[in-house]
Amino acid sequence: MSSDKNPSKKIVVSAQKDPKILWEGWSGPVEIGGMRFHVVKEKTNGAELKKAIYVLDAPPGTELYGLGGSDVYVTVAQLHFEEFRSRIPEDSRLYKEAKCIWDFLHRVFVEAGFETVKPSKARARATPASLNVSASVKDFVAGILGVYCFDEHSPKAVFEVKYVSLDDKSEQSKKDVLVVELILAETGHPICEYCRPKTYMFHKLLAWGKQPNFKGARAGDAQKLWEFLADKVVEHRGMETAHERQTVPFIPKVDCHSIA
């Protein structure tokens, strides 16, 4: 009696050709330029979902030969940017190999017409020098509308305090809410690699004593935005307290019993 099941038989899954599968972070092998890629969905330490693209196979003669089956990867989020951004040290082997994968796929996506993330033309020119920017943390904490930058030298990050109209589900209407939005972060700034432009958070969250539980597609970006701005607020309040101590007049304690 024969069996249809053959344990030694290797199941071959045919690869697809559409690069959009990788761009969207969908499952299934994709063949491009004689090489095979696939997306692996992994949980990070912060319980966020990371979509990593690995090279399944890169035969001799292909552009990424030597990286097939390795543990080197790039994330889908990285490939949505117009330039390679990574937390890996630039002089390391992993950085160079990951950049090779990124360079290849980035070129494929650009040729396919996918639009990478970049500031609009108006915002690309909007540097701290050309905007009416305030460095007042006091005004920022008070929620005064405007554009703010707290860096004296480049690289800089620029934020805007403004009102946005959001859906109020309880009342089934629109509600104006005060938010802080990241306008731009220059390359090299601590927040640049972790928070994308147009990420925003409610301004009132800066008054919280603990980190909010952000949710949604940009939860990680919002968390980094909050951490950076909350540090600035704490630093400002510490300076204010120190200043108050210096300006309070000293009143000597007089011992009434020593007065004749």
Residue with tokens 């007089």: 254
Supply the pLDDT for residue 124: 39
Inform me whether the pLDDT recorded for 122 exceeds 70.
no
pTM above 0.85, yes or no: no
d(CA 181, CA 175): 17
Inform me whether the pLDDT recorded for 134 exceeds 50.
yes
Give the SS3 label for residue 147: strand
Inform me whether the pLDDT recorded for 169 exceeds 70.
no
Domain range summary for the chain, segments of one domain joined by +: 20-111, 121-246
Beta strands in 59-108 (DSSP E): 73-75
Q: What is the pLDDT of residues 96-116, one digit of tens each?
A: 999 999 999 999 999 998 887
Identity at 252, one-letter amino acid code: P
d(CA 49, CA 77): 11
Other Cβ atoms less than 10 A from the Cβ of 131: the count is 18
Q: What is the pLDDT of residues 16-60, one digit of tens each?
A: 889 999 988 888 899 999 999 999 987 655 445 678 999 999 999
Supply the pLDDT for residue 100: 95
Q: What is the pLDDT of residues 49-84, one digit of tens each?
A: 678 999 999 999 999 999 999 999 998 888 888 888
CA 98 to chain centre: 18
Report whether 183 contacts 158 (CB < 8 A): yes
Q: What is the pLDDT of residues 155-168, one digit of tens each?
A: 889 999 999 888 76
Residue with tokens 């019993």: 257
